[in-house]
Amino acid sequence: MEVVLAKNYGFCFGVKRAIKIAEEHKNANTLGPLIHNSKEIERLKQDYNVGVIEDVQSVKKDQPVIIRTHGIQKHKMTFLKESKANVIDATCPFVTKPQQIVEEMSKKGYDIVIFGDKEHPEVKGVKSYSVSDPIVVLNVEELKTHHLKDKIALVSQTTRKVDNFLSIATYLITHFSEVRVFNTICNATFENQDAARNLSKEVDSMIVVGGKNSSNTRQLLKICLDNCENSHLVEDVDDLNPSWFVNKKKCGITAGASTPDWIIQRIVEKISEF
């Protein structure tokens, strides 16, 4: 059985970096789970004694605490530093960037518009860096309900689609005299989707590795099923059904954004045996 990995799959740059940072800081704690994958969280605990704490208040002086890729709100970061905790910042650089932009632009007097979900931790963090009161919207209709000054700075949650970002930029450009557009979208999710789409056209079986409750993994399965009927979602090797590979020659593999490489590797090895 030939097994081919998608050109892009699994962890994005920021998550890979955060896990490496965690591995380099044995006995530290992450503030909230580092990624949405319990097996990876368990592995970090077992192999590196990296645990999870839920709130900044419980952090003690000199205690090492890892900030996850989404970043945290500025006042929480200030609290940690004032508590003299040992802050290990694994905020994704693609998230640090909109935080810095929002801080700088708000200080310069620009009205801040954030395209994103106001309940998402990343957006809460980015928003908190403004010295004024930013507007967080998911579409133009929401934007219309707000009063804005004539100088606006626009950023995006990293995982949003560029088409929707452009709709908001277009509305602002046609209604206000100066709009500073910072394209802070990260294409990792869409690169994984594009790679899965391309690969699923070339194979006779396709395996998507990831959590069954993960929306991004299910989106990958949907894309694969459009091109290859014999596509299946698995969480680990136990979910593999040998009947899927009978009389098949070439199996494609992709993985959700929270799937660690070691699980993917295990799947690749198992399928190669069929």
Least distance in Å: CB of 97 to a copy of itself?
A: 8
CA torsion 121-125-130-136 (nearest 10°) is -10
Output the six-digit token pair for 265. 């590797």
Least distance in Å: CB of 137 to a copy of itself?
A: 17
Query: Residue written as tokens 């490496």?
Result: 20
Query: Residue written as tokens 């909109």?
Result: 98
Binding site for a copy of itself (CB under 8 A): 162, 165-166, 169-170, 173-174, 176-184
Give Cβ neighbours of residue 84 (< 8 Å, ≥ 6 apart): 61, 62
Query: Residue written as tokens 């920021």?
Result: 14
Sign for the pseudo-dihedral over CA of 228, 234, 239, 240: positive
Active centre residues (catalytic): 122
Closest C-alpha among 68, 66, 119, 135 to residue 95: 68
- Which of 34/155 has CB closer to a copy of itself? 155
DSSP 150: S
Sign for the pseudo-dihedral over CA of 209, 217, 117, 186: positive
Least distance in Å: CB of 9 to a copy of itself?
A: 24
Determine the residue type at 89. Answer: D
- Which of 38/183 has CB closer to a copy of itself? 183
- Which of 173/240 has CB closer to a copy of itself? 173
Least distance in Å: CB of 142 to a copy of itself?
A: 20
- Which of 19/152 has CB closer to a copy of itself? 152
Least distance in Å: CB of 184 to a copy of itself?
A: 8
- Which of 145/174 has CB closer to a copy of itself? 174
Closest C-alpha among 153, 45, 50 to residue 101: 153
Strand order in the sheet with 151-156: 135-137, 111-115, 151-156
